Amino acid sequence: MRIVFGALSLLVVLAIVGVLAKKQLGAGVAPATPGSVSADGTVTVPTGTPKQQVDQFKKAAEAAVQQTAPVPDEAK
């Protein structure tokens, strides 16, 4: 009797997981587009050869590091 109850419980759980997975896969999520989103919300797609893309990334990373952080006002 315990084996039958255990098997039925397993089948019920499997059916629930199957239904949830089907809903999740059928949600119609749009595929992500390659590229990055700039500060103004536009998507920039890398162009050029892979070496040029790496150089563009290095320049952008160096520019981000070079920016000064805003200094918070000291409490008086």
Both tokens of 73, joined, read 């006002």
Residue-wise pLDDT for 5-47, tens only, equals 999 999 999 999 999 999 988 876 555 555 566 666 666 676 7
pTM: 0.36
Both tokens of 59, joined, read 């320049």
Residue-wise pLDDT for 58-70, tens only, equals 998 998 888 877 7
Residue with tokens 């952008």: 60
Both tokens of 38, joined, read 């700039």
